[in-house]
Structure 1
Amino acid sequence: MKKLLKIFLSKFFAYASLIALQAVYLAFLMMRFIDYNNIVHWVCVLFSYIVVIYLVSKEENTNYKIAWIIALLIFPEIGGVFYLLIGNKRPSLWLKRKLTPAIEKMQDNMYQDPEITKRIINKKAISMDYLIHQHFPIYNQTDAKYYELSDYSYHDMLKDLKNAKHFIFMEYFIVAKGMMFETIIEILSQKVKEGVDVRFIYDDFGSVSTIPFRFKQKMEDLGIKTVAFNRFIPLFSVSQNHRDHRKICVIDGYIGYSGGFNLADEYINAKMRFGHWKDTGIRLEGEAVWSLTTMFLSNFYPYHKEMSHEDINAFKPHVYHPEPFQGQGYVLPYGDEPLDNETVGEDVYLNLITHASKSIDIMTPYFIIDDTMLKALTLAAKSGVKVRLFTPHVPDKRAVFRVTRSYYYSLIDSGIEVYEYLPGFLHAKVMLIDGKIATVGTINFDYRSLYLHFECNVLLYQAPCIKNIQADFNRMYQISKRMNKEETWHYKVGVIEAFLRLAAPLL
């Protein structure tokens, strides 16, 4: 009872209820208006059919188009208007105008060292030329450390935060009251007193139910320059869709962290919600941290325009570390954002899959993909590549979990090995190709990460820590349950699974 009362009294429930009421009220008004005038009825129906034709000809994700076309044909009187309001996945003009200048400024300060690219033979397999074209350089003067659990990453991050001398930049999707965040805030507030420049970004929707009222003001009162990214307003609008899902921590310009973990106790198993929480992290030390810094600043400056003219060269890695950096192999941090027409996260995943020759290992909490990604994975398996997919056994979102399981039968039938992480919830986003190329970060195998969110990953090539990623997958194999066709058949033919899978691109 207390849990239900807490849900009903939460800010998230209030906002969700307001949005739902707006949608119902709009539908009610439209139906009354249509019933009142027969001409209006046929105009609305005709408009929905025009939208259907438009979707057929539009260069858009096929699954997304099919979902909307079905909705338009079932509800032709109101479908067209609803598509106008929430159907376009592209951000609103105000968000694009707000963020684009800062993104372009950061892109102008990204340079690729040609001497590095000359040394790389397998350029296509790591999407190097494509990512450089998207203003994400590849570096080799960087040491990368992989963490199989965010518990370990958090421990090291605390030490680095305590040793910060000049600036700290942090950007996270979820911030929640608890031991983890309170420890970090204590360090950050002390660093402000020591004269360290501390800046913090959190996603307003991601943290809507986990932070107290006036959180931003409380952070500012501590001297922490804070951004509530894309303020969540309970309006029935597509602009609420585009969230900052990145996880970035930059310390003094040459130490950087990323991975799947947010700033909440469950991510480090200080609080148990869905069994043991398996998440991963990565620590960079060296020149590649510059890419994380520019990603952070591209989302920070639009909300602090008074600081947007500062010299960003002051945040480069060698400013506070003049000595040469150590590091073997190559590191390429890259981001994705919905303001352009590039699906960078999906494109890199697809390219890695299609260039695999021996093995593909994937960890992901959610597996809700389109036909293109599904075809790439099944084709790889049928071509002799060993493909292993690891997903959670204990879900955090039951509806999403049911959609994920609906893919199992087809994957297994194609020769893909599917495993569920038995100890609890798997939140890691990791892909390993042929034991030689890996990507670690925030990008899930779902529509929101691939098309709607601001994301970031770190691609690793010939880096020593790749052997640790391979070892992590081998350990996962030992403690995960391999699924078979017999026990996954009912997921494939389930009516609820079919409906959720159809609606998934619209969620």
Structure 2
Amino acid sequence: MKRIWRLIYSRVFIVLLLLLITVVSIFWAVTSVTAYMPTLFIVLQIFSIIVAITIVNRPMNASFKLTWILFVMGVPIFGALFYFILQSNIETRRYRKNFQKQADALKEYGHTSYKVMSGLGDKDKEQLKLAHYLSEHVGYALHANSDARYYPSGEDWFEDLLVDLHQAKKYIFMEYYIVDFGYMWETVLEILKEKADQGVEVRFMYDGMNSLNNLPYNYYKSLRKLGIKAKVFSQIIPALSTVQNNRDHRKITVIDGEIAYTGGANLADEYINRIERFGYWKDANIRVTGEVIANFTLMFLQMWNFDEKSDHNDLSYLEEHHQRENIQIGSDSYFLAYGESPFDNDAVAKRVYLDMFHSAQQSICIMTPYLVLDDEMQESLIYAAKRGVKVRVLLPHIYDKQMPYLVARTDFEIYLEAGIEIYEYMPGFVHSKVVLVDNRKACVGTVNLDFRSFYLNFECGLYIYNHRQVMADISRDFEDSFAQAKEITLEGFRKNYPWYKRAAGAVIALISPLL
């Protein structure tokens, strides 16, 4: 009973209740008015048809089109009005304009020098396609002269993060999706306060979703009182807006322009297994040094300044990393850190994965908490398996969310029939987002293999080519994890997976692109 009352008085309940009241009010108003005005009813029906035609002709993923058309035509009039209200939202247009402004201002810092491109071309001309796309069309430069260390667990990553934060001398930039009170955040916060007192510039940004469950609504103001420059990305408010469905899912730390971290781990105790939520929490992270730091700095500044109304001098942080044409290449490995934005009309993270899958010759290993793919991604993986590439996917045995679990399993038979191997990590929950292809190229970051990461969230990732130590460490992590996993067989899945879960997954799959 206490838990129920706690829920009723929570901010989550209040926000959802107000949103529900808004939706019900719109529905009531539409039905009431049209009941007394038959002409308006006909007009709104025509409007629904026009909206459906507009959706079909929009440059949108086919899965999103299908979901919206089902909603618009399945809930006559109200569905079309609901779509129109969300898509014409002023806040959405403002966000899109601001992020485009940021992209234009920082575009020159995403250019790759001819010498770096040529160096990669000498190693592998096929890799130039992805590098050219990310550099020339998206704005993230390819870098050499960099190094990395891979962490298969949050515990190992956290130890090194603390050491590096302690040693910061000029600035610390941190951007995280989840922040929660506990040992992990309190330890980091103590260091940030100490560094701010020493004159180190500390900027900290977190996603507004934290305001629902984890942090006080104005927690950023408390951080500012400690000398920390703090911001919240898109606070949750009880209003209909597609922007509130676009979350900052990135995890980035940049220290002095010399060290950067990214990966799956947030700043909460479960990510380092100080507390247990879903068995053992497995998360992968990576630490980078060298010239690739420029891209992480650029990504952070894009997010930090998206709502700034006045000019800023943050370009000075990028000038020190600006890639010159006379650069000297001292390594045979290459790094490309990139960001995903829902406002650029370009599914960057998805294209990176597709390029990796299409180019695979021997093996593809995937570690992800969710496997909810559109037709294009499905076909890419299935075709890879059918042409002889060994495709293995590691998923959690203990799930944090029921809906992605059910939706993923609607396609298991298709994957298994094609020869894709699926494993469940028995110790607990896999939150790592790692792809390894041919033991020669890998991607580590925040991108899940689902619609939310590919189309709705701000994400980031690090693409690594030909770094022998990192490839060996990632490969070892996969093999160790598969050894602790149970393989799902086609016969076993058909025999043991209950019909009601199949039915539930099939229904939820209809709306999965919007979740």
Matched with 1:497 is: 505
SS in 2 for 1:92: helix
Percent identity reads 36
Please report how far the alpha carbon of residue 240 of structure 1 lies from its aligned counterpart in structure 2 after TM superposition: 1.0
Q: 1:292 to 1:33 in 2, by over 3 A?
A: same
Equivalent residue for 1:27?
A: 27
CA shift for structure 1 position 326: 7.7
- Give the Å deviation of 1:310: 4.3
Code of the aligned partner of 2:39: I
d(CA) in 1 for partners of 2:125, 2:185: 40
Structure 1 residue 305: Cα displacement:
4.6
**Structure 1 residue 158, shift from structure 2 partner:** 0.5
Check whether the contact 1:89–1:452 (CA below 8 A) recurs between aligned residues: no
1:331 is paired with a residue whose SS is strand
Equivalent position of 1:406 in the other structure: 410
Q: In the alignment, is the contact (CA less than 8 A) between 2:278 and 2:400 conserved in 1?
A: yes
Are 2:135 and 1:106 equivalent residues in the alignment? no
Are 2:487 and 1:475 aligned? Answer: no
Distance 2:91 2:416 in 1: 37
Deviation per CA, 1:183-242, whole angstroms, max 9, x where unpaired? 101000000010000001111124531112420110100111111112222101212111
Q: Secondary structure at the match of 1:274?
A: coil
The reply to whether residue 183 of structure 1 matches residue 191 of structure 2 is no
8 A contact 1:293–1:315 mirrored in 2: no
Q: What is the CA deviation profile of residues 295-354 of structure 1, one whole-angstrom value per residue up to 9, with x for unaligned ones?
A: 001111234555623442477359xxxxx9986511110111122121101111111111
Question: Is 1:293 matched with 2:297?
Answer: yes
1:454 equivalent among 454, 458, 469: 458
* Per-residue Cα deviation, 1:32-91 (whole angstroms, up to 9, x for no partner): 112121112222222112222222222211111111112222212211111112368997
The reply to whether residue 132 of structure 1 matches residue 140 of structure 2 is: no
Among 450, 465, 471, the residue aligned to 1:466: 471
Change (3 A) 1:488 1:42: farther
CA distance in 1, matches of 2:215, 2:330: 39
Shift of 1:7: 3.0
- Once residues 101 and 307 of structure 1 are traced to their aligned partners in structure 2, the CA distance between those partners, rounded to angstroms, is 12
Question: Residues 406 and 502 of structure 2 are in contact (CA less than 8 Å); yes or no, is this contact kept in structure 1?
Answer: no
Which position in structure 2 is the counterpart of 1:122?
A: 124
Quickly say closer, same or farther: Cα 1:305–1:48, change in 2 above 3 A.
Answer: closer
Counterpart residue type for residue 503 of structure 1? I
One-letter code aligned to 1:174: I
User: In 1, are the aligned partners of 2:176 and 2:207 still within 8 Å (CA)?
Assistant: yes
Cα distance in 2 for partners of 1:88, 1:497 equals 31
> Is residue 144–residue 283 contact of structure 1 (8 Å, CA) maintained in 2?
yes
Partner of 2:325: none
Residue 252 (structure 2) aligned to one of 248, 252, 276: 248
| Aligned-partner Cα distance in 2 for 1:44–1:491 | 42
1:225 lines up with 2:232 in the alignment: no
Matched residue type, 1:473: F
Secondary structure of 2:7's counterpart equals helix
Map 1:5-154 onto structure 2 (within 5 A).
Answer: 5-86=5-86, 92-120=92-120, 121-125=123-127, 127-133=130-136, 134-154=138-158
Give the stretch that moved more between structures: 187-196 or 223-232.
Answer: 223-232
Residue 212 of structure 2: which of 204, 208, 213 is its match?
208
Alignment check: 8 A CA contact 2:399 2:429 kept: yes
Q: Give the SS at the match of 1:494.
A: helix
Number of the residue aligned with 2:396: 392
Q: Contact 2:297–2:317 (CA<8 Å) still a contact in 1?
A: no
Closer, same or farther: CA 151–5 of 1 in aligned 2, 3 Å: farther
Name the CA distance, whole Å, in 1 between partners of 2:321 and 2:109: 13
Q: State the AA in 2 paired with 1:230.
A: S
Amino acid at match of 2:293: V
Count the aligned residue pairs. 503
Q: Aligned partner of 1:128: which letter?
A: A
* Separation of aligned partners in 1, 2:429 and 2:319: 37
- 1:419 and 1:483 in contact (8 A); partners too: yes
Range moving further from structure 2, 135-144 or 86-95:
86-95
In structure 1, what is the equivalent of residue 387 of structure 2?
383
Distance 1:432 1:303, change over 3 A: same
**Is 1:445 aligned with 2:449?**
yes
The whole-number CA distance in structure 2 between the counterparts of 1:19 and 1:213 is: 18
**Deviating more after overlay: 471-480 vs 401-410:** 401-410
One-letter amino acid of the structure 2 residue matched with residue 505 of structure 1? P
Q: Which residue of 1 aligns with 2:201?
A: 197
Structure 2's unaligned 5+ residue stretches are 323-327
Instruction: State the alpha-carbon separation in 2 of the partners of residues 333 and 89 from structure 1.
Output: 32
- Do the aligned partners of 1:405 and 1:491 also contact (CA within 8 Å) in 2? no
Bigger drift between 292-301 and 302-311 goes to 302-311
Please report the TM-score for the alignment, with normalisation by the length of structure 1. Answer: 0.94
Structure 1 residues 420 and 11: alpha-carbon distance in aligned structure 2, compared to 1, 3 A threshold: same
Q: Is the 8 A contact 2:193 2:227 kept in 1?
A: yes
Q: 1: distance between equivalents of 2:201 and 2:330? A: 26
Gap change, CA 1:88 and 1:430, over 3 Å in 2:
farther
Partner of 1:321: none
Cα RMSD (Å): 2.2
Q: Contact 1:422–1:481 at 8 Å: present in 2 too?
A: yes
CA distance change for structure 1 residues 434 and 311 in 2, over 3 Å: closer, same or farther? closer
What one-letter code is carried by the residue in structure 1 that aligns with 2:475?
A: Q
In structure 2, distance between residues paired with 1:346 and 1:416: 19
Is contact 2:260-2:289 (8 Å) kept? yes
Secondary structure at 2:510's aligned position in 1? helix
Aligned to 1:208, what secondary structure does the other structure show?
A: helix
Could you tell me whether the CA contact under 8 Å between 1:360 and 1:434 is conserved in 2?
yes
SS in 1 for 2:424: strand
> Which amino acid in structure 1 is aligned with residue 132 of structure 2?
D
- CA pair 275-305 structure 1, distance change in 2 beyond 3 A: same
Q: State the AA in 2 paired with 1:504.
A: S
- Checking the alignment, whether the CA contact within 8 Å between 2:335 and 2:463 is kept in structure 1 is yes
Measured at CA, do residues 452 and 491 of structure 1 come closer, stay the same or move farther in structure 2, by a change above 3 Å?
A: farther
Q: Hey, what does 2:374 align to over in structure 1?
A: 370
For residues 411-436 of structure 1, give each alpha carbon's deviation from its aligned partner in whole angstroms, at most 9, with x where no partner exists. Answer: 11111001111111111111011111
Q: Structure 1 residues 487, 42: CA separation in 2 closer, same or farther (over 3 Å shift)?
A: farther
The CA distance in 1 between the partners of 2:51 and 2:279, in whole Å, is: 45
Moved more, 27-36 or 272-281: 27-36
**Cα pair 2:152 2:477 within 8 Å, conserved:** yes
Match of 2:343 among 339, 342, 366: 339
Cα distance, 1:491–1:365 mapped onto 2, change above 3 Å: farther
In 2, Cα distance between the equivalents of 1:79 and 1:213?
32
CA contact (8 A) 1:49 1:76 kept: no
- When structure 1 is superposed on structure 2, of 128-137 and 465-474 the one drifting more is 128-137
Cα 1:107–1:4 shift into 2, 3 Å: farther
